[in-house]
């Protein structure tokens, strides 16, 4: 792969497989195999973490802007998970969970919405369990980063801010502010529990269509999060589902 204006090469400790992803196109570009011959210009680095570097680049011939994810060479497990992310992106026909919450789920009966919430939570928490078992914190879980595949199943995506805990007690807070827990705002730290908290917020959004700490502005929402001031849940959020969500949000 010819890359203009950059130091992308197989000697830099990165994996040979480069994934080029945009909304219209998913290509597996393998170094040394002429699948795609193109020249790229780096626009900027978007993020770096446990899953490598995420770069915004421009295809010089067509001026298309794409996102390239480069993987650490040494860890086959992370490569496997990135392979699965790309595979999921290829299968995505239902968009992301934000689209589903704002459109499809709003039209459902309460009973069907609950069933859909349970189903999506099962897949989200299963994926999160795998991440956490590897010592990795996602740090940016939100409906936009939950993809819906062709079978209607939820898949965690966008690992650009994911990072290993290693021997650290906590990581620096990053990600989307209204999906970050109180400790991220007050103490500038995140842990695996921060991911679980974000899933609790997502769960309430799925079942009610509303962020549990929603205010008139983002600043008020963040203030509500800091002070654990949440909206009153509707009566149909009850029983085991309510207990589970309350525990995720540290409200018990």
Is position 140 annotated as part of the catalytic site?
A: yes
Share of the chain above pLDDT 70, in %: 66
Question: What DSSP designation does 232 have?
Answer: P
pLDDT band with cut points at 50, 70 and 90 for residue 32: very low
What's the mean pLDDT in 132-151?
88
Angle of helix 192-208 relative to helix 239-248, nearest 10 degrees, comes to 140
Pairwise CA distance, residues 2 & 9, whole Å: 9
Pairing of the two strands 154-156 and 146-148: antiparallel
Domain that holds residue 57: 15-79
CATH code at position 152: 1.10.510.10
Q: Which of 140, 149, 195, 235 is catalytic?
A: 140
CA distance 33 to 150: 30
Domain CATH number, residue 45: 3.30.200
Q: Is residue 6 part of a domain?
A: no
Do 225 and 155 have their domain in common? yes
C-alpha pair distances (Å), 83 with each of 71, 80, 133, 172, 222:
10, 5, 18, 27, 35
pLDDT tens digit sequence for 94-130: 678 998 999 999 999 999 999 999 999 999 999 999 8
| Structure confidence at residue 35 as a pLDDT band (50, 70, 90) | very low
């Amino acid at each position: 792969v010819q890359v203009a204006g950059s130091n992308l090469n197989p000697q830099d400790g990165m994996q040979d497989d480069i994934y080029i992803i945009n909304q219209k196109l998913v290509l597996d570009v393998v170094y040394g195999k002429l699948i795609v011959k193109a020249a790229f210009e780096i626009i900027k680095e978007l993020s770096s973490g446990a899953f490598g570097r995420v770069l915004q680049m421009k295809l010089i011939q067509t001026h298309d802007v794409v996102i390239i994810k480069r993987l650490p060479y040494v860890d086959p497990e992370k490569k496997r998970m990135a392979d699965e992310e790309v595979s999921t992106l290829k299968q995505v026909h239902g968009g992301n969970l934000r689209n589903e919450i704002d459109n499809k789920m709003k039209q459902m009966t309460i009973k069907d919405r609950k069933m859909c919430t349970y189903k999506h939570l099962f897949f989200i928490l299963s994926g999160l369990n795998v991440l956490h078992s590897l010592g990795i914190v996602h740090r940016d879980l939100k409906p936009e980063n939950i993809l819906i595949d062709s079978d209607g199943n939820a898949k965690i995506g966008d690992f650009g801010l994911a990072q290993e805990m290693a021997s650290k007690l906590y990581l620096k807070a990053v990600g989307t502010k209204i999906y970050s827990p109180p400790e991220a705002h007050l103490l500038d730290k995140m842990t695996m529990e921060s991911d679980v908290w974000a899933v609790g917020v997502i769960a309430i959004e799925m079942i009610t269509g509303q962020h549990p700490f929603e205010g008139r502005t983002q600043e008020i929402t963040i203030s509500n999060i800091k002070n654990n001031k949440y909206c009153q849940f509707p009566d149909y959020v009850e029983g085991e589902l309510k207990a589970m969500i309350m525990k995720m949000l540290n409200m018990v």
